Amino acid sequence: DAKTTQPPSMDCAEGRAANLPCNHSTISGNEYVYWYRQIHSQGPQYIIHGLKNNETNEMASLIITEDRKSSTLILPHATLRDTAVYYCIVRVATGGFKTIFGAGTRLFVKA
20-28, 60-68, 72-80, 86-94 -> range binding another protein (CB under 8 A): 86-94
Q: Is 94 in the site for another protein (CB under 8 A)?
A: yes
13-21, 39-47, 59-67, 74-82 -> range binding another protein (CB under 8 A): 39-47
Q: Is 53 in the site for another protein (CB under 8 A)?
A: no
E strand residue ranges, the chain: 9-13, 18-23, 31-38, 45-50, 55-56, 61-64, 70-75, 84-92, 105-110
The span from the CA of 108 to the CA of 88, in Å, is: 17
Q: Is 81 in the site for another protein (CB under 8 A)?
A: no
Q: Is 102 in the site for another protein (CB under 8 A)?
A: yes
